Structure 1
Amino acid sequence: MLFVKILIILLATKIAGELSIKLGQPAVLGKLVIGIVIGPAVFGWIEDSEMIEQISEIGVILLMFIAGLETDIKSLNQNRNSSFAVAVGGIIFPLLGGYFAGLGFGLSHSHAFFLGLLLSATSVSISAQTLKELGQLKSRESTTILGAAVLDDILVVVALAVMMSLLTTGDVSLGMVFLKKLIFFVSVGLVGWKVVPWMMRKFSSWRVSESIVSTALVICFFFSYLAESLGVAAIIGAFAAGIAISQTPFKQSVEQKIEPIAYAFFVPVFFVSIGLSVSFDGVGSQLWFIIVLTIIATITKLFGAGLGARITGFNNRSSLGIGAGMVSRGEVALIIAAIGLESQLLKQEYFTAIVTVVILTTLITPPLLKRIFSDKQNLSERSHT
Structure 2
Amino acid sequence: MEDIPAIILQIFVLLLLSKILGSLFERVKLPKLIGEILAGAVFINMIIFVPEFSTLMKFSIEGFNSDTTENFFHIMGELGIVFLLFAVGLETKFSDMMKVGKTASYIAVFGIAIPFVGGMLFILKDSIDFNAALLIGAALFGTSTAVGVECLRNMEAMNTHEAKLIVSATIIDDILCLALLGVIIGAIKPNANTTTIIINAAIVAAFVIFMFVFISRVKRVSSRRRKRHQRSAVRERVDDSNSPACACEEPGPMGELSSVGLAIMVCFGLSAVAVNIGLAAIIGAFFAGMIFAEFKLTIPCEHNFNIITYFMLPFFFIWVGMELQMDRIDPGILPLFSLIMAVAIATKYVAGYIGSKMGKLPNDSAHLIGVSFIPRGEVGIIVATIGLSTAVFTYDMFTSIILMALVTSILAPPLMTHAYKRMEKNRTVAIEKLLTDEEANQ
Normalised by the length of structure 2, the TM-score is 0.69
Classify 1:379/1:184 alpha carbon distance in 2 versus 1 (closer, same or farther; 3 Å). same
2:386 maps to 1:363: no
Q: Distance in 2 between matches of 1:133 and 1:27?
A: 11
Classify 1:27/1:214 alpha carbon distance in 2 versus 1 (closer, same or farther; 3 Å). same
The percentage of aligned residue pairs carrying the same residue is 22
1:363-382 alignment, distance < 5 Å: 363-375=406-418
Q: 2:40 aligns with which of 35, 41, 52?
A: 35
Q: 1:291 aligns with which of 321, 324, 338?
A: 338
Q: Secondary structure at the match of 1:358?
A: helix
Q: Secondary structure at the match of 1:59?
A: helix
Residues 182-231 of structure 1 show CA distances to partners (whole Å, capped at 9, x for unaligned) of 33123323443446967x99x96468x81111112222222322333334
Unmatched segments (≥5 aa) in structure 1: none
1:101-250 alignment, distance < 5 Å: 101-103=122-124, 105-107=125-127, 111-122=128-139, 127-131=144-148, 133-134=150-151, 135=153, 139-158=164-183, 170=193, 172-194=195-217, 205=253, 210-250=257-297
Residues 86 and 307 in structure 1, CA contact (< 8 A), matched pair in contact too: yes
Residues 63 and 262 in structure 1, CA contact (< 8 A), matched pair in contact too: yes
2:277 maps to 1:277: no
Kindly tell me the number of residue pairs found equivalent between the two proteins: 367
Report the counterpart of residue 62 of structure 1 in structure 2. 83
Report the counterpart of residue 30 of structure 2 in structure 1. 25
Q: Distance in 2 between matches of 1:34 and 1:56?
A: 14
Q: Distance in 2 between matches of 1:217 and 1:269?
A: 18
Letter of the structure 1 residue corresponding to residue 398 of structure 2: V
The alpha-carbon deviation at position 309 of structure 1 amounts to 4.5
Unmatched segments (≥5 aa) in structure 2: 1-5, 65-69, 227-250, 432-442
Q: Distance in 2 between matches of 1:79 and 1:232?
A: 27
Report the counterpart of residue 436 of structure 2 in structure 1. none
Q: Distance in 1 between matches of 2:386 and 2:136?
A: 12
Q: Distance in 2 between matches of 1:174 and 1:193?
A: 28
2:11 maps to 1:6: yes
Normalised by the length of structure 1, the TM-score is 0.78
CA RMSD across the alignment: 3.8
Q: Distance in 1 between matches of 2:93 and 2:418?
A: 24
Q: Distance in 2 between matches of 1:248 and 1:176?
A: 34
Residues 68 and 246 in structure 1, CA contact (< 8 A), matched pair in contact too: yes
Classify 1:31/1:123 alpha carbon distance in 2 versus 1 (closer, same or farther; 3 Å). farther
Report the counterpart of residue 332 of structure 1 in structure 2. 383
Classify 1:304/1:190 alpha carbon distance in 2 versus 1 (closer, same or farther; 3 Å). closer
**Bigger Cα Rg:** 2
Residues 15-46 of structure 1 show CA distances to partners (whole Å, capped at 9, x for unaligned) of 11111123332322222222222224876777
The alpha-carbon deviation at position 301 of structure 1 amounts to 3.1
Classify 1:102/1:145 alpha carbon distance in 2 versus 1 (closer, same or farther; 3 Å). same
The alpha-carbon deviation at position 336 of structure 1 amounts to 4.1
Residues 132-170 of structure 1 show CA distances to partners (whole Å, capped at 9, x for unaligned) of 6444698431331232132133235436756879xx775
Q: Secondary structure at the match of 1:178?
A: helix
Classify 1:313/1:17 alpha carbon distance in 2 versus 1 (closer, same or farther; 3 Å). farther
Q: Secondary structure at the match of 1:248?
A: coil
Report the counterpart of residue 373 of structure 2 in structure 1. 323
Q: Distance in 1 between matches of 2:266 and 2:211?
A: 10
Q: Distance in 1 between matches of 2:103 and 2:260?
A: 33
Q: Which has the higher contact order (CA 8 A, sep 6+)?
A: 1
Residues 118 and 343 in structure 2, CA contact (< 8 A), matched pair in contact too: yes
Residues 28 and 366 in structure 1, CA contact (< 8 A), matched pair in contact too: no
Residues 66 and 259 in structure 1, CA contact (< 8 A), matched pair in contact too: yes
Of 151-160 and 55-64, deviating more is 151-160
